[in-house]
Amino acid sequence: MTSGPNLVLVGVNHKTTPVEIREKLAFSQVKLEASLEQLVSSPEITENIILSTCNRVEIYAKVENTDRGIQLLQDFICDYHGISRGNLDQYFYSYCDNQAVEHLFRVSSSLDSMVLGEAQILGQVKDAYSTARSFSSTGMVLNQLFEKAFNVAKKVREETGISERGVSISSAAVELAKKIFEDLENHSVMLVGTGEMAELAAKHLISYGVKTVYVASRTYERAAALAQTLNGCALDFESFKEEMHRADIIITSTAAPTFIIRKEMMEAAIQKRKNKPIFLIDIAVPRDIAPEVNELENVYLYDIDDLQNVVNANMEERQKEAENAMDIIKQEVTKFNNWFSTLDAVPTIVEMRNRAEDMRAFEVDKTLKNMDHLSSEDKETIQQLTQSLVNKILHKPTINLKKKTQSQDGHIYLKAIRHLFHLDD
Amino acid sequence: MVYRRPLVATLAGGMVALGLIFQTVSIGIRSSITGHGPYTTSYEVAMFLAWFMVVIYFLTEWKYKIKDLGAFVIPLVFFVMLISVFLSKEAGLVPESEVRFWLTLHRTLSIIGYAAFSIAFAAGIMYLIQEHQVKTKKLGIMYFRMPSLEVLDDLNFKVITIGFPLFTLGFMTGSIWNTKMDQAFFSWDLAKTMPMVMVWLIYGMVFFGRMATGLRGKKAAQGAILGFIAVIGSFFLHI
């Protein structure tokens, strides 16, 4: 058992625990201060950070003893929320040291998220960290660990495609629109039908810069109402066919039992557009646009199944990218552990004392060889004297080193000692 | 191209830039020794063409920030360089000054035109790949890496807008040069001239077609590819 810092993590997440339990264990932002203080006031826990989101509740802590630390944190979560331990044991997971490091890296890189690669979690981890910092419940180890986790998340985001591909119908549609028309700002969208999904997709497109919006519906009032929310203009349902060529993107979502856009209609529209491409998104079931329309040049038609297929393929791709991300994380865990292990004062103290003892024994033996006139009792006394000298000299440095390694700049002291005593020869 | 690491991309870009510098120096030295620009022999023309292709590639990449265009242009440059290896490195004969003027103009204009066409070719290939993916709804790795159809189509149009008039002028000055060489205007080798006329017609169709009838997208991309194949064909006939 080492006396160096021990990292532990206790938590529940969406994979281990149903939402009925998770919601009971959540820490509200308001009560977080009290919780962090309560934890850090325990002599066993020297640093802690509470991460509480809708998908997970986790406490990261630096503790004196791993096993006791885990027990303490689990008890704390249960006591805090007034739930008995017996009911929760099956849900908790706990990790220590490099496993805890790996877990945090995975969480902040969004590999542990419900939607792989989503961007929100990193912000939540950052918030948890800054809250804990503002209440001074963190120290050198957790500070370093979390700062590192943010770097790793950034690296994963930049070097893998984990968050590149849209995994919702509307984001996949926006991505497609951006692969057909580069800049959405100078392009227009027409909604035919006022379905909820169509509205969502339109809002998404608008957030990416689409400025001109037309809305057509069988009931003009509904078209007008939606046009107002989207800051667009309403069209008479019958006139949309004549106006169709004005739109670069058409989203259909009517309840019509038959196709409302047919090949020859689109052919006429595309001619009017001088072959400028048009992107058709048919979210209606039954479909609003005849599938043959896709055969026309410069026309790109996606129905709801096509978009779902894109989403599924993107999900799979994110899964593959997650493997690349794990390679990065594994490397970073090793790097962090290398740093972390330098924080452990014990090996350094042992080495320092061994070094001193070796020198003492060598010098004493050398001297005693030439002093045969001494009795063996005298020789023994000299041995003891030198031993206690060494102990006395090293006593304060040992105590101080142990103390200092618990502080923010502890690793500097360790480095200095190793250097002064030539321990890394 | 499927590499995501910025280092690899920067390294690749750096290598191309280094190559361009060497090529510039090499052309410069050769010109100072021969005493004329790099356009008298097929070898020189190939070297000069490769040089212009890289220059135009850098300009477009810098101006339009088109990812991965290099992956399509640089192999072409390599191809041109490869051909040049097999050509005679002997210095060409320098014609008398008046004829020389037309020759210089003809070769330089044509070479810039060809370099622009090579970019249109690369953009055309990229367009067809991307278009195929979006049309068939099979979105592969390239779908995410490559630019939008609009950008590729626009690039195709822009470089042809630069290349076609230059090529036309090159064609005209070439005719004048031929005439000055004491040959009747259309008396030269038909086998060498016809491909040039073909090239001119193809690009002319793409160029005027877009303006007149909105010829764009896939057809424009196909035109740019076909045109460049004709260019390569006529180049081999010239050698």
Calpha distance A286→A304 (Å, rounded): 10
A285's torsion region: left (phi>0), alpha (psi -120 to 50) or beta? beta
Q: Average per-residue pLDDT in chain A?
A: 88
ipTM: 0.79
| Chain B residue numbers touching A179 (CB-CB < 8 A) | 130, 134, 143, 148-149
Indicate the residue of B4, B134, B214 with minimum beta-carbon distance to A176. Answer: B134
Average pLDDT for A343-361: 87
Please answer yes or no on whether A182 and B150 come within 8 Å at the CB atom. Answer: yes
Domain with CATH 3.30.460.30 in chain A: 6-159
**Mean pLDDT across A419-423:** 87
pTM higher than 0.90, yes or no? Answer: no
Residue A378: pLDDT over 60: yes
Give how far Cα A330 sits from Cα of A104, A152, A157, B204, Å: 12, 10, 15, 57
Mutate to test the interface with B, among A175, A179, A323 (most CBs of B within 10 A): A179
Higher-confidence residue of B74 and B87: namely B74
Domain A6-159 in CATH 3.30.460.30: yes
Name the nearest CA neighbour of A169 among A212, A208, A198, A191. Answer: A198
pLDDT of residue B16: 75
How crowded is residue B154: how many other Cβ atoms within 10 Å of its Cβ?
Answer: 16
Q: What percent of chain B has pLDDT over 90?
A: 12
End-to-end CA distance of chain B: 33
The residues pairing with A215 across neighbouring beta strands, listed in sequence order, are: A191, A234
Percent of chain A with pLDDT over 70: 98
pLDDT at A171 over 90: no
Residue B47 backbone zone (phi > 0: left; psi -120 to 50: alpha; other: beta): alpha
How far is it, in rounded angstroms, from Cα B192 to Cα A232?
59
Which chain B residues contact residue A276 at CB under 8 A? 214, 216
Contacts of A80 (CB under 8 A, 6+ apart): A27, A35, A38
User: Phi and psi dihedrals of B175, rounded to 5?
Assistant: -65, -40
In chain A, which residues have their Cβ closer than 8 Å to the Cβ of B150? Answer: 180-183, 277
pLDDT at B93: 63
| The pLDDT value given to residue A256 | 87
Interval A246-291: pLDDT, tens? 999 999 998 889 999 999 999 999 999 888 999 999 998 899 999 9
Q: How confident is the model at residue A292 (pLDDT cuts 50, 70, 90)?
A: very high
Interchain pair A275, B130: CB under 8 A: no
pLDDT digits (tens, 9 = 90+) for B214-228: 888 888 999 999 999
Mind telling me how many Å the CA of A281 is from chain B's nearest CA? 13
Strands A56-63, A233-236: pairing kind: unpaired
Nearest Cα neighbor of B54 from B84, B21, B25, B32 is B21
Taking alpha carbons only, the member of A120, A149, A140, A137 closest to residue A32 is A137
Q: Which of A38-47, A176-185, A361-370, B89-98 has the lowest mean pLDDT?
A: B89-98
**Type of residue found at B210:** R
- The answer to whether A233 is a known catalytic residue is no
- A345 within 8 A of A402, measured Cβ to Cβ: yes
pLDDT at residue A148, rounded to an integer: 94
Neighboring chain B residues of A158 at a CB cutoff of 8 Å: 4, 6
Among A29-33, A69-73, A110-114, A185-189, the least confident range: A29-33
> In angstroms, rounded to a whole number, what is the distance separating the alpha carbons of residues B212 and A164?
39
Instruction: For A288-314, give one letter per residue: b (16+ CB within 10 A) or e.
Output: bbbeebbebebbbbbbbebbebbbebb
Strand order in the sheet with A6-13: A45-52, A56-63, A6-13, A93-96
Nearest to A309 among B4, B137, B213 (CB): B137
Pairing of strands A249-252, A278-282: parallel
Among A117-121, B6-10, B206-210, the least confident range: B6-10
Whether the predicted pLDDT of A2 surpasses 60: no
Token pair for B235: 């180049």
Mean pLDDT on A31-36: 80
**pLDDT of residue A183 exceeding 60:** yes
Q: Closest CB to B148: pick one of A180, A273, A310.
A: A180
Q: How far is CA A235 from CA A169, A244, A251, A351, in A?
A: 25, 11, 14, 83
Instruction: Give the model's pLDDT for residue A1.
Output: 37
- Give the distance from residue B230's alpha carbon to the nearest chain A alpha carbon, in angstroms: 25
pLDDT at A298 over 80: yes
Q: Which of B144, B150, B218 sits opposite A181 (nearest CB)?
A: B150
Q: What per-residue confidence (pLDDT) applies to B1?
A: 38
What's the whole-number mean pLDDT along residues B85-101? 68
Mean pLDDT, rounded, for B56-61: 81
Q: In CATH, which of 3.90.1150.10, 3.40.225.10, 3.40.50.2000, 3.40.50.720 is domain A169-311?
A: 3.40.50.720
Distances (CA, A) of B1 to A140, A175, A182, B74: 41, 20, 20, 12
What residue of B is the nearest CA neighbor of A178? B148
Helices B190-213 and B218-238 sit at what angle, rounded to 10 degrees? 160
Non-local CB neighbours of A95 within 8 Å, separated by 6+ positions: A8, A9, A102, A103
* Pairing assessment for the beta strands A188-192 and A93-96 based on DSSP bridges: unpaired
Contacts of A164 in chain B (CB under 8 A): 144
The kind and range of the H/E element at B13 are helix B6-34
Q: Is the pLDDT of residue A317 over 90?
A: no
* Residue partners of B171: CB distance under 8 A and separation at least 6: B110, B196, B200
Interface contact flag, B149 A294, Cβ < 8 Å: no
What gap in Å lies between CA A40 and CA A283, rounded to an integer?
53
Give pLDDT tens digits for B180-204. Answer: 766 555 555 666 677 788 888 999 9
pLDDT at B188: 59
In chain A, ranges of CATH 3.40.50.720 domains: 169-311
Alpha-carbon distance of A316 to A169, in angstroms, equals 15
Q: What is the CA radius of gyration of chain B?
A: 19
**Of A4-13, A91-100, A397-406, B62-71, minimum mean pLDDT range:** B62-71
Domain boundaries, chain B: 6-238
Contact B237, B151 (CB under 8 A): no
